[in-house]
Structure 1
Amino acid sequence: MPPERRSLLRDLSHGHAAVSYLELFLDLVYVFAITQLSHFLLEHLTPLGALQAVILFLAVWWAWIYTTWATNWLNPERGPVRFLIGGVMIGSLMMSSALPHAFERDGGLPFALAYCGIQILRTGFTAWAMRRDDRVNSRNLARATVYFCLAAPCWIVGGLSPDPALRMALWVLALGIEFSGPAAGFWVPWVGRAQTGDWAISGGHMAERCALFIIIALGEGIVVTGSQFARVAPPDPATLAAFFTAFTGSFAVWWVYFDLGARRGAEHIEHHADPGRVARDAFTYWHIPIVAGIVVLAVIDEQTLVHPLAPSHPDFVLTLLGGSILFLGGTMVFKRITSGNPWFPSSHIYGLWMCAGVALWGWLAHPTHLALANAQTVVFVAVAVWEWRSFHGGWIDAVVKYGGPFGRWLKRRADHIRDARLAGRDRPSE
């Protein structure tokens, strides 16, 4: 039944909850957070720096995604909810401002306090707001608050520690506690655990919010491309080529995610019998590598624009490979979850193999940044075109028409794979 008139919750009786202007305003803070993350990684492009960047990224994502869950239920038109989101914005801005110094001697505590404040206060408020209209989810969020409270001492003690290794260890432990919560149903001794079927959400709202965060991450690459290109006046041919390569790569990445994945993901969660499970698996967990990969690729864009003709050393090659695998691998699993069948997209599987080939070439031949970035952009374009032609243009038919014996063999192979997939989809789950 719909919530009472004075309730702080949205009316989800009609199924869809529109994204509010306040949520879009909140996202502006996370635009800054993504910028801070990419700059941190660029300035700490070492194995240790990469691990630190992963810790910081996971904290930023966890703060944002839990706020997205909260705004799926809370009504942004109510005054108390608006003040809550305003508080989350202040905390997120403080957290993002402290991010570059989070692993310096005196910089950890401000980051930890801001993060813990966001998570505990927002989740506790949401549990309180749901106490009358949705007691089941109110108890679930109370359990989630317990997990954040258990992790908070690790964050704060780690922030106080002058030992960087101890700080990292404690923060990894804190993230482990928090990330285990949704997978464990926020199990608490003598209280029990939540069931994903209890998480009554607007699937369309969750899908739209995560798609908007992908736009935020892609926007960082666009800003980097434009700002670096603007600093070169007049641009030389190599910088001009790097500019077009960076934009083409970003456009292809957008295409790979949004052409099929975002739309099908939204349709899947909206019509699924257990949207809470899909929101947890496909959007809360498996969007992590997608967003992380896009952020890492923005670092590659900046390096390519600044030093287009520099030889590709191992750190550049590994960064490019890591970003590409994170994005393509995460998108591949996301599309598999939201497709309703157990098969991964062939275009993404072969795309990952091509990424490995590009990295091997870069490792052995040390081509320029521009040449290696061009090769990786070709991979993203190939994946986008492959998937586009598969679902919109019938590329198999074109190959059959012009490919001779190879085309006929490919047609038989495609029919065999299609029949196997249909048989697998029709087979009852065990």
Structure 2
Amino acid sequence: MPGLRRDVLRASGADRVAFVELFFDLVFVFALTQLSSYLFAHRTPLGALEGAILLCAVWWTWVSTTWVTNTLDPARLPVRGAVVALAFLALLMAVAVKESFGDRAWTFALAYVALQVGRSAFMVWATARHDTGISDDFRRILAWTAGGSALWIAGALLPLPAQLPLWIAALCVEFVGTLTGYPMPRRGRVTLERWDLSGAHIAERTSLFVLIALGEGLLVSGFSFVDEESSPEGIVAMACAFVSAAAAWWIYFDHGERVGAEAIERSDAPGRLTRTAYTWVHLLIVGGVVMLSVGDKQALSHPDETGVASALALTTGPFLFLLGSVLFRRMLERSVPRAQLAGVIAVPVVALAGVFAGALATAIAVTAVLVLVAAGETAWRIRLGRRAGG
């Protein structure tokens, strides 16, 4: 049977995040910075749709690679080399983000396709001799990925009116494949139950990505502050950016992050829980953090601006982040965190007021909501007698 002779599967119970995985993550600091800059420069319905497509593509490449390094041992030389190669392809994607719906559509599409197809093909080859079940699963994934890849390439060949629907269709192919188990005629579908998943590893990897997204926000805000002339409004906006990031960190890491690994280990269907909580729900959380940086830049660059576009730029991020946090905790603990739910309700109220108030005033109100949610989360945890995470 063709395949890698050396067994590179991750040992059961090996939960440690490898340094090469952290190196892979470094590329995504740049990718998220480019993405937030794109979203800020295109604050229109079309720009929001394009940004959503790019966010999904960037997130999909990262989270799919995380599943691979949860199965294979990154300390093994072939796996380490593959992760470094995937990091280079992700860098090419990141470089092309700002012109992905323009002159660099080809670069973005080819890098994305090479990363997705190459990763799945490597998994088939690496596991063929050592775990035929996983190898067969990735053959199914590879076939679906190849189908979606044709749409990515076709979209890059065509002008924007055709590129958009084709790239949306390409994402839908991969998302539907994930939801349905990548079914193939006479070959069945992927069965996550037979995968030896490490809940602790996936939980830690995802929490590290959330940290990267928060760091990207501070990076963007810092550069924006440096580019503007010093003023009282700019100082207040920068303070709001930092406090909002700190509050978002507190909401995610005070309690919720730690319970993820525990819930996966207890679950009767860890694969399905992991896929839903960390692949799907975290897309909202990460998207919310990216949009937080867009709102920070709005308050720094246009503190007096009013209107719908300004209000949405400032409130979309907190809303998505809190909504994702509510869904995440609901899945893990079978309960709805009241503080986050109150925040989900409060943010649209702030958005309505922000249409008429200035961007800086809206930023202050949003920051206050996040701080109150963080305080409520901690008060609830202490009342239950649970220890803090992070």
**Same fold at TM > 0.5:** yes
**Cα displacement (A) at 1:394:** 7.2
Structure 1 position 261 matched with structure 2 position 256: yes
Contact 2:128 2:135 in 1 (8 A): yes
Structure 2 unaligned spans of 5+:
386-390
From 111, 136, 146, the counterpart of 1:139: 136
Counterpart for residue 19 of structure 1: 17
Q: CA separation in 1, counterparts of 2:82 and 2:149?
A: 20
Counterpart for residue 299 of structure 1: 294
Amino acid in the other structure paired with 2:138: L
Amino acid in the other structure paired with 2:131: D
- Give TM-score scaled by structure 1 length: 0.86
Counterpart for residue 8 of structure 2: 8
From 201, 204, 221, the counterpart of 1:205: 201
Identity over the aligned pairs, expressed in percent?
41
Structure 1 position 332 matched with structure 2 position 326: yes
Change (3 A) 1:394 1:75: closer
Counterpart for residue 108 of structure 1: 105
Counterpart for residue 45 of structure 1: 43
Structure 1 position 252 matched with structure 2 position 244: no
Amino acid in the other structure paired with 2:350: V
Kindly tell me the number of residue pairs found equivalent between the two proteins.
382
Q: CA separation in 2, counterparts of 1:266 and 1:248?
A: 28
Matches within 5 A, 1:276-425: 276-308=271-303, 310-339=304-333, 341=334, 343-363=335-355, 366-393=356-383
SS at 2:16's partner residue? Answer: coil
**Cα displacement (A) at 1:232:** 4.8
Which string of whole-angstrom CA distances, capped at 9 and with x for unpartnered residues, describes residues 301-335 of structure 1?
11212232x13221011222322221111111011
Q: CA separation in 1, counterparts of 2:368 and 2:144?
A: 44
**Cα displacement (A) at 1:199:** 2.3
Contact 2:96 2:108 in 1 (8 A): yes
User: Which 10-residue stretch deviates more, 287-296 or 184-193?
Assistant: 184-193
From 228, 241, 245, the counterpart of 2:236: 241
Q: CA separation in 2, counterparts of 1:10 and 1:21?
A: 15
**Cα displacement (A) at 1:393:** 4.5
**Cα displacement (A) at 1:171:** 0.4
Contact 1:200 1:275 in 2 (8 A): no
Q: CA separation in 1, counterparts of 2:384 and 2:114?
A: 52
Matches within 5 A, 1:135-174: 135-161=132-158, 163-174=159-170
Contact 2:343 2:370 in 1 (8 A): yes
**Cα displacement (A) at 1:109:** 1.3
**Cα displacement (A) at 1:297:** 1.0
Amino acid in the other structure paired with 1:258: F
Counterpart for residue 388 of structure 2: none
Q: CA separation in 2, counterparts of 1:7 and 1:112?
A: 32
Counterpart for residue 118 of structure 1: 115
**Cα displacement (A) at 1:229:** 2.7
Counterpart for residue 56 of structure 2: 58
User: Which 10-residue stretch deviates more, 207-216 or 77-86?
Assistant: 77-86
Q: CA separation in 2, counterparts of 1:190 and 1:319?
A: 48
Q: CA separation in 2, counterparts of 1:212 and 1:5?
A: 32
Contact 2:295 2:315 in 1 (8 A): no
**Cα displacement (A) at 1:273:** 2.8
Which string of whole-angstrom CA distances, capped at 9 and with x for unpartnered residues, describes residues 326-369 of structure 1?
11111110111111x2x322212211111111111112xx2121
Amino acid in the other structure paired with 1:291: V
Amino acid in the other structure paired with 1:210: T
SS at 1:35's partner residue? Answer: helix
What is the aligned-residue RMSD (CA, Å)?
Answer: 1.7
Matches within 5 A, 1:165-204: 165-204=161-200
Structure 1 position 224 matched with structure 2 position 220: yes
Amino acid in the other structure paired with 2:380: S
Q: CA separation in 2, counterparts of 1:5 and 1:203?
A: 27
Contact 2:298 2:314 in 1 (8 A): no
Amino acid in the other structure paired with 1:222: L
User: Which of 1 and 2 has greater Rg?
Assistant: 1
Structure 1 unaligned spans of 5+:
396-430
Higher RCO (C-alpha under 8 Å, 6+ residues apart)? 2
Q: CA separation in 1, counterparts of 2:384 and 2:133?
A: 48
Q: CA separation in 2, counterparts of 1:155 and 1:393?
A: 50
Contact 1:199 1:276 in 2 (8 A): yes
